[in-house]
Structure formats: C-alpha cells, structure tokens
Amino acid sequence: MGKRVVLALGGNALGDNLAEQMLAVRDAASALVDLVEEGYEIVIVHGNGPQVGMINLAMEAAAKTPEDYIPMATCVAMSQGYIGYDIQNALREELLKRGINKPVATIITQTLVDDKDPAFSNPTKPIGGFFSKEEAEKLRAQGEAVMEDAGRGWRRVIASPKPIGIVEYEIIESMLKMGQIPVTVGGGGIPVAKDGEYRLCGMSAVVDKDFASAKLAELLDADMLVILTAVEKVAINFGKSNEEWLSALTIEQAKAYIAEEHFAKGSMLPKVEAAMAFAQTKPGRKALITLLSKAKDGLAGKTGTVISQ
C-alpha cells in the first residue's frame, strides 16, 4: 500500500474567478495524478476564500429581506460543491488520459467546532459587502457582528474557530480503502457545532483549511500532511536581505521562529502552526510545505520545508 498523504491546495491552485479556476484545476490535476502514478494514496483538500466571498455577495444581493440571508455555513457548502465539481472533473480526465481507473468524488464535509471556542466572542474575518455606519448599526442591533474594515466601510465579521473533528472522515477512509480519490473538507469544511445529542448546527464561521487538513490527516492516520501554496519553502527573515529558506524545521525551532514573528499572520503562520499540529500528534508524522508544481519532488525529499518532531 502506498503512503497516505493529505494535500491542502492553496488559493493559487484555483485562481480568482471561475474562468481561471477551470484552467488552474487542469495544472493541479496533472500534478496530483503524478502522485497517484508514484503510488501515493491521495486526499485532496482545497481553499475557498475568493469563492465563498463571491457566493456570500451574490446571496446578499439576491436577499430581499433579512430573513432571506443565507448563512455562512450554507455558502461554504455551495463552494465545496462547485469547486469540488471542477476538481473531480479535471482529475477524472487526467486519470483516464493516463490509463488509470480510479473513481474521484467530492464529499460535502462538515467540520466540528466548539461553540464555546474563544474565536466566537472575537470574530475577526471580514466577509461579504460593505455597509454604511447606519446600516452596520442596524445589523449589530439584530445581533450580527460588524466591524470597520481598513477605512473602506463596515462589513460583517465572522469567527475562525479551531476544528475539533471531521464529521465524515470515515467515508473518506472507506474511499481510500477502495482505491478511490476523495475531494473533501473544502474551504476548511462546513463549520458545525453540537446542538443537543444528535443535531449538528451550521455556525457563522469559517475554519482555516490548513488546520482542518491537519485534523483530517490525524484522523486518517496519514503519513504526511502536504500544504501546497505559493512558495517553494518557508523562510525566516522573509522578504528581507538576510532571508533564509528552510529545508527542515523541528517543532522546537518552529516555536522559536514563531516567537520571533518570522511567519506572517493570516498567510504563513497558520500553515506552520497546522504543520506543527499534525507533526506533534505522533513521532514519524511529517508535514511538508511547498509549491503544487513541486509536490512530487517535495515528497521525494528534494525540496520544500519538512516540519517534524
């Protein structure tokens, strides 16, 4: 059996609009099928930042009354559907072209979060359109979190809680056992919290896709979490004259570099933290951060930054 790897695709694997997405997924499919040919058991996770923002704006525009407002959890579900469709379609074509008979499917996936997560009392992620101060005050009176966004106007803000479980992970596990390729936990998964014993309730939140991928990799007992982004390696002194690209990073080193603020909040920091979260669950578990086009070389130990205990 091949090595099991969870691959988290960053924003540049999907582009900023649908036309870009349909082209970008072809390159992604080619790089991913290379890994299948190498014998890896792959699980594909993707981001959804621009896509879910667009859906949220479209739903806001279509809403005639506040009751028509489509919650964030539903927008994430929609984004999983249409991004997953593009990825599974492109992968299917690439597999068939290379004579590989492996079914691919997207699983609409829910990510369990704790409704007492401190992130809910401090929502920080702006979403959707802009409002005037008066409109924002009305929304606040209706119980919605709003914040001024960098002098551009007022926006809804939502929380980014930590994933504590992946509801459908056993289905992903069975797909892998059958030799199938799952596209899952898109956009970090649909955030849900327990409401009583059986019900899961969609939350106004977004889960970071790198943290959700780390949780999925842990539950699937994956050999490696692979975070594919816009840089080949992680750097210290990033963008400065003494910039240094790292090939390997222990958890202790990573902690020290985080304390020295080498990794930008909202971009590289969550990736390094997600990589550490997976690597520290068990000795031998590793995380790799590199470019999509370097995934094969990175897994072969030729490039990228490997985070381990």
Q: Which residues bind ligand ADP (CB under 6 A)?
A: 10-11, 47, 229-231, 234-235, 238, 262-264, 267-268
Q: Residue 26: CB partners within 8 Å, gap ≥ 6?
A: 90, 94
Report the residue number whose CB is nearest to ligand ADP: 10
Of 13 and 77, which CB lies nearer to ligand ADP in the complex structure? 13
Using CA atoms, how far apart are residues 163 and 16, in angstroms rounded to an integer?
A: 26
Shortest Å, Cβ 244 to ligand ADP: 10
Shortest Å, Cβ 201 to ligand ADP: 27
Shortest Å, Cβ 10 to ligand ADP: 2
Shortest Å, Cβ 208 to ligand ADP: 9
Of 172 and 231, which CB lies nearer to ligand ADP in the complex structure? 231
- Catalytic residue positions, numbered: 11-12, 125, 209, 271
Using CA atoms, how far apart are residues 80 and 105, in angstroms rounded to an integer?
A: 12
Shortest Å, Cβ 235 to ligand ADP: 4
Sign of the torsion formed by the C-alpha atoms of 91, 93, 98 and 102: positive
Angle (nearest 5°) at CA 129 between 50 and 9: 10
Q: Residue 58: CB partners within 8 Å, gap ≥ 6?
A: none
Using CA atoms, how far apart are residues 271 and 276, in angstroms rounded to an integer?
A: 9
Sign of the torsion formed by the C-alpha atoms of 182, 183, 188 and 192: negative
Of 21 and 69, which CB lies nearer to ligand ADP in the complex structure? 21
Helix (H, G, I), strand (E, B) or coil at 223: coil
Shortest Å, Cβ 259 to ligand ADP: 14
Residue 199 burial (C-beta neighbours within 10 Å; 0-12, 13-18, 19+): exposed
Using CA atoms, how far apart are residues 168 and 160, in angstroms rounded to an integer?
A: 20
Of 36 and 231, which CB lies nearer to ligand ADP in the complex structure? 231
Q: Which residues pair with 120 in a beta bridge?
A: none
Q: Which residues pair with 289 in a beta bridge?
A: 227, 305
Contact 223, 110 (CB under 8 A): no
Of 62 and 264, which CB lies nearer to ligand ADP in the complex structure? 264
**61 CB neighbour count, 10 Å cutoff:** 9
